[in-house]
Structure 1
Amino acid sequence: MSIDVEELKSAWGHPLFRVGEYLYCVDKSKGERLYCRCIRGKSDNCGARAIVDKVDFEIAVLRAIEEIFPMAEIRGCNFHFTQALWRKVQHEGLSGLYGSDPALERYIKGVMALSLVPLHRLDDAWLEVEAESPGVGFVGHEKLVRFKDYFIRTWMDNDTIFPRSLWNHHGNLGVRTTNHLEGWHSSLNKKIKSAHVNIYELISHLKKEEHDQRLQRVLLDAGNPPRPPKRKYKILND
């Protein structure tokens, strides 16, 4: 039986401030029902009780977490947040102007940085960023207006499907992205070296991953400090 590696889903946790995987599942489907099964497996089989869940902004995942862990604090991946904004910049044809217009570049970066502003100051911060926006004389003014409308409608309005608390990371001293998860999947793909793999070979790889994770947990329990973050990330956090 051949498995598409892209069909592999994994649920992760943060024991002792170190990221580690809890659960693997393979399924061709997507959607809320599948994610509910995965999250229930994380809860029932691993004893995991979500307090904070880091996710991308897939609506089916958000609804599944809310169903299984109604009291969980859900935060979206900050990388996916800024990536969504940048895709809109590209979609509106502003990316070419971004590199040549300092005012536009400063404005877009300011919008992206709103995820790090205290929630109670978000409206004021948005007005401050908006005050520095390129004016009517800007060559891409109409495109920029459409970008602003998108940002307000999708991320700022009170009735948006992505509430501010979902994408705001002020005060979050832990991970702000799901890049560690995507990095793990990328690493596994390189080890397997094939887009399609026999299921028994995949299980063999996952058993080795589990063994490595258990070993890391033993070391942490024995008092070994977790691997320190790279210097550039430490500077950003400070």
Structure 2
Amino acid sequence: MAAVQGQPQVLKFKEQWVEGDQQAWNHFNNGDPSTTNHVEGWHHKINNQMKNCHPNIYILLDIIKKEQAANEAKISQHANGGKQRPRKRVYRQLEERLVRLKDQLSIGEMDTMSYVDAVSR
């Protein structure tokens, strides 16, 4: 009985994620971040600057103004030839590994299941 009840969910999953418009959710070739970790990091930073969970609107505006000023300073430094802080080595190595695996998949040196297995490690 459980298999019969679950059948519509399986069909819906297959329709949405396997046969549907993969461009809507697949980040394989877009070059942009595939997660929202950068946004979550920014949100965490803002939350840490607040003294309580429900700040006064003026306190929130002050925090946002300071964040804006810091970002404008970084943009100005970068535009004038300043160097950005390098990413941590572990993240550079991870990205290099993922790019290498993606290239191997793209040129046919690796099949899809091998790629999925290698990426998951």
TM-score tier (shorter):
0.5 to 0.7
| Aligned-residue offset at 1:171 | 2.8
Larger Rg: 2
The CA distance in 1 between the partners of 2:24 and 2:56, in whole Å, is 38
Q: Any gaps of 5 or more consecutive residues in structure 2?
A: 97-121
- TM-score between both structures, scaled by the size of structure 2: 0.62
CA-based RMSD: 2.6
SS of the residue aligned with 2:86? Answer: coil
Which among 11, 17, 40 is matched to residue 182 of structure 1? Answer: 40
1:155: which partner in 2? 17
Which among 65, 77, 96 is matched to residue 219 of structure 1? Answer: 77
Equivalences for residues 43-122 of structure 1 within 5 A: none
- Flag as ranges the 4+ runs of structure 1 deviating above 6 A: 144-147
Q: Write 1 or 2 for the structure with the bigger share of helix.
A: 2
| Aligned-residue offset at 1:210 | 0.6
| Aligned-residue offset at 1:223 | 1.4
> How many residues were matched structurally?
93
Q: Any gaps of 5 or more consecutive residues in structure 1?
A: 1-140
Q: String of CA shifts for 1:22-68, please: whole Å, max 9, x gaps.
A: xxxxxxxxxxxxxxxxxxxxxxxxxxxxxxxxxxxxxxxxxxxxxxx
- TM-score between both structures, scaled by the size of structure 1: 0.34
Q: Which has the higher contact order (CA 8 A, sep 6+)?
A: 1
The CA distance in 2 between the partners of 1:234 and 1:172, in whole Å, is 19
Structure-2 change in CA distance of 1:154 and 1:194 (3 Å)? farther
Equivalent AA in structure 2 for residue 169 of structure 1: H
Q: String of CA shifts for 1:101-159, please: whole Å, max 9, x gaps.
A: xxxxxxxxxxxxxxxxxxxxxxxxxxxxxxxxxxxxxxxx99x988754531332233x
| Aligned-residue offset at 1:174 | 3.7
Structure-2 change in CA distance of 1:146 and 1:227 (3 Å)? farther
Structure-2 change in CA distance of 1:235 and 1:149 (3 Å)? farther
1:235: which partner in 2? 93
